[in-house]
Amino acid sequence: MTLKLISIRNLMRRKGKAAFILAGLVVGVATVVGIFTFVEATTHDIAHKLEQYGANILIVPKTENLSLSYGGLSLGGVSFDLEEIRESELARLATIPNHRNIAAVGPIVLGVASVESRRMLLAGVDFKAAEILKPWWRVGGRFPQDDEVLLGAEAARALGLETGQGLSVNGRNLVVSGRIELTGSQDDQLAFLTLATAQQLFAKSGKISMVEVAALCKDCPIEDMVRQIAAVLPGAKVMAIQQVVKSRMEALAQFQKFSYGISAVVLFIGGLVVLVTMMGSVRERTEEIGIFRAVGFRRSHIMQVVFLEAGIISALAGVFGYGLGWASAAAALALSGDGHSGPVAFAPALALGAVVLALVLGLVATVYPAQMASRLDPNEALRAL
Amino acid sequence: MSYIVADQLGKSFGAGAAAVHAVSGLNFRIAPGEFVAIMGESGAGKSTLLGMLGAMNAPTTGRLHVDGIDVYALNPDRLADFRREYLGFVFQSFHLIPYLSVIENVMLPLAVSRQGSPEKRRRAQEALAEVGLGGKAGRLPGEISGGEKERVAVARAIVNEPPVLLADEPTGNLDSGNSREIMRMFQRLNASGMTVIMVTHSAECSGYAGRVMRLSDGRLKTDRRTAVSALRRAS
């Protein structure tokens, strides 16, 4: 006969109440585990997508004269007349410490050309990189090959050209391979060529005007990436598009705050369930506690019995709560259909955290009922029957 | 030699003119090994006195000494230890824990002792054998009769081998046959040296005691040994 045996027997006898407390704690812990797992997986997923959603680092030649507005952002200076970046120098990007965080490198050759008797801006781009850097592009037709051109929506309208029609650029005949649907950006005004075609047209062989870089910066400060790139490209100016980075991070932070706020509320309610149920249980057991005290149990022994009961239920709630939360997160991720692939992995640290959380919550919520039980006057308890 | 000494023991509820004096000015001494019956009408203060003797109901006046210990000067923890080491309780309504088996109920006072489980079980089995319930150790309280429950309560009270056994109307819920059985059990325990103090309404039960204290309106009216007692004890 031990205090532990008394606790276990009482739990077995009052299965309904034990189940109610267990359910309250399981819901609380499962919510936290579920949200935490979901948020972690989603954050990782969102971060991955956000990082791919366009460039967040821009590399331009050093200049003090002209400014370039791009995508509504002031991105610094570039001049077509200044010494341009050599394409071969871009290989150095693979040598920076955080090179694994680089998702795409998009070199651009800019130039003004005479197109069908109009002056317009042309951009030579790497279309493989553009798939990552410009995921919002909807192309009617296909990406161009050499001697082909992809027109922005406004450019196509102004020139009155359709896919398959020919046009003359600086006296060179090109064919329209496709048309980008309206984006609302500066891209609508441009004509896009392959990098090689643009370099030939503008006599910029092996040179590029600017570089867009998409960096996966969930786990690395963007400033570090900027410093590392600047170090390997001393002749260029490297800038982070801070607005993009900040908005990405703020969006994630807001999502996390909201989720953890909900978790805190559910946990608080779970704690209240334990508190109220344990208080009811103590009141029901007035006679029993009176007997314990009459046969010589100290107040601390009574508290031990109550805490042991709460501890056993809490530990179980931690295990079940982790399982339920994990399953809920996996189901939510599967149902959300946001492209999150692969099963949610078992996280030992989170499982341990769930058990510890359940124990802390259950035991803290039991402090008052345990004190109430220990303070019961044995004479009053037995006389009240 | 006096083992239990009540010195101006009193208990009041309320204050001022509205105060109710449940027990007042009780002075008595009980020697080791006495069998005392406390009698009186309802409301005479018997149960209040038993609660005070049981270290569960602090007096508002006076002092209680047991084995030289000023009982109510002890702190709450020591008072609990005192109950466990010195006293065994038998309640009228048994007060068994319904979800513990018979032997587990008997082991209850040992739950907080440092003895090993085999030793606790051995002592509980001895106590059950003492009350004639050795074969029902595994039953739950709901599976045994009223008389058997009372005997389990007695086994629980003596498992710690306390020097004093306190009983509150121990035969109140029993038929005459079971009542006699319990009284003979008390006599055997008393004969082995245990001090027995019993609250009872029953004149027949009080006849088993060597001393009868009669309370009225919270005061000790009579305190005497009886000839009937001697006859019953001899039988």
Place of tokens 């090179």: A99
A interface residues, B as partner, C-beta within 8 Å:
1-3, 5-6, 9-10, 12-13, 287-288, 290-301, 377-379, 382-383, 385
Pairing, β B20-30 against β A210-215: unpaired
In angstroms, the separation between the Cα of residue B156 and the nearest Cα of chain A is 9
What is the token pair recorded at B152? Answer: 């389990």
Chain B CA closest to residue A9: B99
Cβ contact B80–A293 (<8 Å)? yes
Closest to A301 (Cβ–Cβ): which among B104, B112, B120? Answer: B112
Report the number of distinct structural domains present in chain B.
1
Using CB atoms, which residue from B57, B84, B111 is nearest to A1? B111
Q: Of A327, A258, A363, A361, whose CA–CA distance to A30 is shortest? A: A327
Interface test with B, best of A6, A295, A376 (most B CBs within 10 A): A295
- Each residue's pLDDT expressed in tens, for chain B with a length of 235 residues: 458 999 999 999 888 778 888 899 899 999 999 999 999 998 888 989 999 999 998 999 999 999 999 999 999 999 999 999 999 999 878 889 998 999 999 999 999 888 888 999 999 999 999 888 888 889 999 999 988 998 899 999 999 999 999 999 888 878 888 888 889 989 999 999 999 999 998 888 888 999 999 999 989 999 988 765 544 554 4
Amino acid (one-letter) located at A228: Q
**3-state DSSP call for residue B233?**
helix
Higher pLDDT, A134 or A319: A319
Residues of chain A with Cβ-Cβ distance to B87 below 8 Å are: 296
Count of A–B CB contacts within 8 Å? Answer: 82
Domain that holds residue B127: 4-234
CB contact under 8 A, B111 and A298: no
Q: Is the four-CA dihedral B87, B92, B93, B98 of positive or negative sign?
A: positive
Q: Is the pLDDT of residue A242 over 80?
A: no
* Tokens, residue B171: 């035969």
Q: Report pLDDT for B203.
A: 87
B169 to chain A nearest CA, in Å?
A: 13
Q: State the nearest Cα–Cα gap between B15 and chain A, in angstroms.
A: 19
Q: Where are the beta strands (DSSP E) in A148-222?
A: 148-151, 166-169, 172-180, 191-194, 207-208, 210-215
Helix (H, G, I), strand (E, B) or coil at B192: coil
Percent of chain A that is helix, strand, coil (3-state, to 5):
55, 20, 25
What is the Cα–Cα distance from A327 to A354, expressed in whole angstroms? 14
Q: Which of A2, A287, A294 lies closest to B83 in CB terms?
A: A294
Interface of B with A (CB under 8 A): 47, 51, 54, 56-57, 76-77, 80-81, 83-85, 87, 89, 91, 93, 95, 97-100, 104, 107-112, 117, 120, 124, 156, 160
Residues B125-183 pLDDT 10s:
999 998 888 888 899 999 999 889 988 999 999 999 999 999 998 888 788 888 888 89
Distance, CA of A13 to CA of A8 (rounded, Å): 9
Q: Given this model, what pLDDT does residue A125 score?
A: 93
Judging contacts by C-beta atoms under 8 Å, the chain A residues touching residue B120 are 1
Paired tokens of B46 = 């018997």
Contact call for A2 and B117, based on CB within 8 A: yes
| CATH number of the domain enclosing B158 | 3.40.50.300
- Map tokens 């971060």 to a residue: A47
Whether the Cβ atoms of residue B134 and residue B128 lie closer than 8 Å to each other: yes
Judge: A5–B76 Cβ closer than 8 Å, yes or no: no
A11 → chain B, closest CA residue: B99
Query: Are B99 and A3 in contact (CB < 8 Å)?
Result: no
Q: What is the ipTM of this complex?
A: 0.88
Contacts of A97 (CB under 8 A, 6+ apart): A228
List all residues 6 or more positions away from A275 whose beta carbon is below 8 Å from its beta carbon. Answer: A365, A366, A368, A369
